[in-house]
A = this chain, B = another copy of it.
Amino acid sequence: MKVSKSERTRRTIVEAARKLFGEKGFDRTTVREIASAAEIDPALVIRYFGSKDQLFAQAAEFRLDLPDVTNVDRSRIGEALVQHYLAVWEGEAGTGGLPILLRSATSSETAAEQMREIFLRQVLPAVRAIKGGRGASRRAALVASQLLGVALCRYILKFPPMVAMPREMLVVEVGRTIQRYATGEDATEG
């Protein structure tokens, strides 16, 4: 079963939208720009997705896919999480859901709400799986704060030392923090 022509255009539009939303955020991306990048008419964007907001909602959808850490060396859980997280950010190269949301969530309540959803449905369960208990939601929030902070400084604000830092160093340094937040205990040395 081949994909219909309309389905192909839909995807072209979403791809263009992802790229632009991820680079400039919701407000600074216009329907006309998206259409131009997809080499079609602006009206078609609306016809396919109803409105700019609905297109954004669709473009921003994604799964964080935190790795299963139940069979990872317990003292290396933090590193494993950071490793995966950075790979997600660098892999999707501006077309992924996280950059899109982070770029827009500081000024759009809708996007902020989507971030809270992701925290609730994807980060919190993962942290709970590592170590349950009454403090799980707090620990998850601390984990999220450190991970989002790293992405903010490295990929969005582009603080030079943060950009220059090799990935492995981040994995080790930030990994230790995540380890403590997620498990409640410090990582053992080297």
Q: Which residues of A contact B (CB under 8 A)?
A: 24-28, 102-107, 112, 115-116, 119, 137-138, 140-142, 144-150, 152-154, 156-162, 165, 169, 173-174, 176-177, 180-181, 186
Contacts and interface: CB of A to CB of B under 8 A. Distances in A.
Contacts of A105: 106, 156-157
Contact of A156 (B27, B106, B119, B144): B106
Contacts of A116: 157-160
Given A112-B157, A147-B149, A152-B152, 12 more contacts: A24-B107, A104-B107, A105-B157, A106-B106, A112-B156, A116-B158, A141-B153, A141-B162, A141-B165, A145-B150, A149-B149, A149-B152
Contacts of A173: 142, 181
Contacts of A137: 160-161
Closest 3 CB pairs of A and B: A149-B149, A25-B107, A145-B149
14 contacts: A25-B106, A28-B107, A102-B106, A104-B106, A105-B106, A106-B106, A115-B157, A138-B161, A140-B161, A141-B153, A145-B150, A145-B162, A146-B146, A148-B157
A73 B165 CA distance: 30
Contacts of A174: 142, 145
Contacts of A144: 149, 153, 159, 162
**Which of A161, A173, A180 has the most B CB atoms < 10 Å from its CB?**
A161
A140 B50 CA distance: 45
A103 B26 CA distance: 13
